[in-house]
Structure 1
């Protein structure tokens, strides 16, 4: 049985037990996703759908799924008890200033592409589609800058308003921002 099917089964069991999160795979890593309180540095008052990091132990494997299930129960218990704290769940690889290299646009684009081809069968036609859609947008982004919403919005604003290129830029920048877990990505939709 493939790993995505095992994740789906684990999520069905979590749902039956009333957990508030599901296991989500990004590339070869597992995350938890659910409606959670705003992170401390985010200016929001309401809970909203977010990812919680499971750290380096959460590899997409049988053992990683067992680990993720345990953490899903723990997170749910913390939410119910009112003891949930983002300090235990934020992926420090993404937010620590000493790891800025891992947050560059080019690195995220490469990681996104690897993840994409793990989910989609690679055929010559699909490669052509990738190159004229995702690839076209990603190639125009500043590869050596840190990936932020501002960088994506700056690129989007260089495209002609109400055009096919603007729509393409918005669609694929949003997907990249979602993949990277960037806060404030809703701005791209507007």
Structure 2
């Protein structure tokens, strides 16, 4: 499966590709025949991805909800960021999305384009009625992305701001 926008390809990694990502972004890029991004996962992201990978293996029939989705800039054939869902939709049809973009590619609208495409895919799935996301309070760029994608603030905690998009019935 692959999502496509004007400037981006968005690919949910297979379990094999996800494992390669954990072994090093360069290994995953080589497998996908991408140009090298020269990026690496920071320690926090690496640990989060290890947890998601374990869940993806346990839920291989629904791995799209647990895998890493690579965001690839078509013009450079290079991964510029990624997104993921934190788990499959719960009993209320709620699913949480997370994402990040390499600093070189920030402030070009790529993340908004990618999040819109991934949310459209999620909304098209039968068991999804709400998409949520959490941002840090001072992450204004991420706030803008979510607003542009049609999300609204619905909760604020000491740690962050929660956003949601309800699927029209």
Which category of TM-score, normalised to the shorter sequence, fits these structures? under 0.3
Q: What is the TM-score with the length of structure 2 in the denominator?
A: 0.27
**Higher gyration radius (CA):** 1
Q: What is the TM-score with the length of structure 1 in the denominator?
A: 0.25
Q: Whose helix proportion is higher, 1 or 2?
A: 1
Q: Whose strand proportion is higher, 1 or 2?
A: 2
